[in-house]
Amino acid sequence: MSQPALLPVSRPWCVRPWCVRLAVGLVLLGLISNALYLWHNCPLNLSEDESHYWEWARHLDYGYYSKPPGIAWTIAAALRVGRLLHLTGDGSGAALMPVVRMPAILFGCLSGLLSLFLARRMFRDDRAALAVIALSAAVPMFAVGSLLITIDSPMYLCWAATVYCLWRAVEAPGPRWMYLAGLACAAGMLFKPVLIALPLCALVGAWGDPAMRRAFKSWHSAGAIGLVLLSQVPFVVWNARHGWVTFKHIGSQGGLVGPGEAHKSWLAPLQRMVSFLGGQAGGMGGLLFVLLVIAVVLAWRWQRRAAESEALRWRFLLAFSVPLWGFYCVMNLWKGTEVNWPAASYFAGMVLLAGVVVRQWPTHRGWRRWTIATVVWGFLLTMAALNLQRAYPFVARKLAPLAGTPDYDKSRWFPGKWDPASKKLRGLAERGGVVGSEAAAFELAAGQPPLIVSGRYDLSSSLAFYLPGHPFVYCVMSQVGGRRSQYDLWPGLNERSADGRLVNAGKPVLLVGNFDQAAFEQVIRPAFARIDPPVVGQIVVDGVLLRTVTMRRAWGFRGLAGTQGDVY
């Protein structure tokens, strides 16, 4: 039997049904527009990281080198549904791309609905539901993230679901919502271990507020954490059987294993901090990031002098946003971070911002103006970012006179100067076509299909996705001085049969990408009877030469002398 609610009604509910209907409509409109964008000649190729997760989905397991198994199983399920619905077409990379990414759109829609429901419920105001959706639509990082099938979109959804359930548990303590929170957190841990921060955020909240302390101080909280730990048993067992590679990798990424970066210069921590703040501001669209920081400061002030029920709302949202964001900020003192790492902290942060906007809207003209300007600016920025490819034909004409000169990629017109997507989301399908053509020509010369080999795990996965027939592309990254990867856990180029025979002996190999010169001479060249001079292929997108790819024909494979490195 549940206990009575902890939150007395401190103010009447502000009923604006049209706000809720409009907010839900905007979320559904986002779902439809994202699906149309994805399925109608989407200009964003599957990134190398997404391709790597797709490669995992072709080798289903209970764990992988750098992540738990959730993303691989999600992509595998999407592909199965796509085949059942006859959506995979000819099976090429271009046909599979929208099928692989479709779960991200669904995750984004559900995350939006959760933010809508949480904002409305916490502030007892239908306008908060509309505010949080309008503000979220103005975040470029959210818009792009809802289109890419990385670990962040399902992780963000599970974080959002956990926070929502925990608030319901604070409202009316009892087992149901606490265990639902545990299940949501357990699901999120199958995608990204960052959800282990949720119990810590709850501890911060319980320390700062008596209502949260009463809600979380129960055996049901322990039971919910037990569900989270139970979900990790297969993953931990898998790691134990594979030398704890995921834990070693996470330790390396977090600067806990290895030399770190702080020793390079006393200015390095400051530079990383500035880079982190700049990346967060850029991902949030600039203006909205500033507005969010101001909202956090205001919420901190209000919670100190508000009534208990009102203060609880601000403390709850602060507890589930600021500590995680602050951790990654401080982490830059010893190790650089990626822009997307603190993404989960923005769920509660955006709800908090919506609450501040609704409170300030009636009486503060400045807040009204800045909020409108922020939403309009963020929306325009997002639309521009998703449609920059339309400028490529014009840019190609501007760059044409510089073709073949060193000034080509230094020009202000070169997409690398103004299009963030040009480096990671464009030209990858074209690269697969160029490598595929060279592989076909090599097959005619060699009389058999060549093996494809690269020195980067992400390059290998991207080539496998976009090459005709999706062949397995080997990776020798750890043998040539790079860090280990998932490819070190799969049968490699040096695979041997039960009787010790080299499986790929004598086969032709197409080497793709650049290799460290010393490693190439010491490891790669001795592994073959002959290696032809390199061939440089051009990756052209809508008339613009984005990059090149180096390919070498290698004959008579006889085994790599290099061994796997110990860098994780």
Examine the domain organization and report whether 334 and 436 are in the same domain.
no
* Nearest in space to 55 (alpha carbons), one of 96, 11, 16, 113: 96
What predicted TM-score, i.e. pTM, was given to this entire model?
0.93
* Nearest in space to 46 (alpha carbons), one of 415, 393, 462: 462
Report yes or no on 291 lying in a domain.
yes
Report yes or no on 517 lying in a domain.
yes
Pairing of strands 451-454, 509-512: parallel
What residue numbers bound the domain in which 547 lies? 428-557
What integer pLDDT is reported at residue 465 of this predicted model?
98
Examine the domain organization and report whether 412 and 337 are in the same domain.
no
Q: Which residues pair with 475 in a beta bridge?
A: 454
What integer pLDDT is reported at residue 466 of this predicted model?
97
Q: Where is 23: in which H helix or E strand?
A: helix 17-39
Examine the domain organization and report whether 339 and 395 are in the same domain.
no
Examine the domain organization and report whether 158 and 218 are in the same domain.
yes
For residue 488, what is the DSSP state? Answer: G
Examine the domain organization and report whether 180 and 248 are in the same domain.
yes
What integer pLDDT is reported at residue 195 of this predicted model?
93
Examine the domain organization and report whether 132 and 262 are in the same domain.
yes
Report yes or no on 8 lying in a domain.
no
Q: What is the DSSP string of 308-321?
A: HHHHHHHHHHHHTT
Report yes or no on 530 lying in a domain.
yes
For residue 189, what is the DSSP state? Answer: H
Report yes or no on 353 lying in a domain.
yes
Examine the domain organization and report whether 147 and 210 are in the same domain.
yes
Examine the domain organization and report whether 417 and 362 are in the same domain.
no
Q: Where is 529: in which H helix or E strand?
A: strand 528-531
Examine the domain organization and report whether 380 and 477 are in the same domain.
no
For residue 523, what is the DSSP state? Answer: I
What integer pLDDT is reported at residue 355 of this predicted model?
94
Report yes or no on 237 lying in a domain.
yes
What integer pLDDT is reported at residue 262 of this predicted model?
45
* Nearest in space to 163 (alpha carbons), one of 300, 30, 352: 352
d(CA 44, CA 148): 9
Are 340 and 145 in contact, with CB atoms under 8 Å apart?
A: yes
Are 367 and 360 in contact, with CB atoms under 8 Å apart?
A: yes
Are 324 and 201 in contact, with CB atoms under 8 Å apart?
A: yes
For the chain, the residue count is: 568
Examine the domain organization and report whether 106 and 156 are in the same domain.
yes
d(CA 163, CA 157): 10
State how many domains the chain has. Answer: 3
Phi, psi of 224 (to 5 degrees): -65, -40
- pLDDT tens string, the chain, 568 residues long: the values are 344 444 544 556 777 889 999 999 999 999 999 999 999 989 999 999 999 999 999 999 999 999 999 999 999 999 999 999 999 999 999 999 999 999 999 999 999 999 999 999 999 999 999 999 999 999 988 988 899 999 999 999 999 999 999 999 999 888 999 999 999 999 999 999 999 999 999 999 999 899 999 999 889 999 999 999 999 999 999 999 999 999 998 887 776 655 555 455 678 888 888 888 888 988 888 899 999 999 999 999 999 888 888 899 999 999 999 999 999 988 888 888 888 889 999 999 999 999 999 999 988 888 999 999 999 999 999 999 899 999 999 999 999 999 989 899 999 999 999 999 999 999 999 999 999 999 999 999 999 999 999 999 999 999 999 999 999 999 999 999 888 999 999 999 999 998 889 999 999 999 999 999 999 999 999 999 999 999 999 999 999 999 999 999 999 999 998 676 677 7
For residue 470, what is the DSSP state? Answer: -
What integer pLDDT is reported at residue 5 of this predicted model?
45
Domain end among 374, 405, 424: 424
Are 105 and 34 in contact, with CB atoms under 8 Å apart?
A: yes
Pairing of strands 544-557, 509-512: antiparallel
Report yes or no on 207 lying in a domain.
yes
Examine the domain organization and report whether 274 and 374 are in the same domain.
yes
Q: Which amino acid is at 315?
A: R
d(CA 34, CA 105): 7
* CB-side neighbour CA atoms (13 Å) of 70: 25
Are 291 and 377 in contact, with CB atoms under 8 Å apart?
A: no
Examine the domain organization and report whether 374 and 445 are in the same domain.
no
Report yes or no on 7 lying in a domain.
no
Structure tokens belonging to residue 367: 């807040």
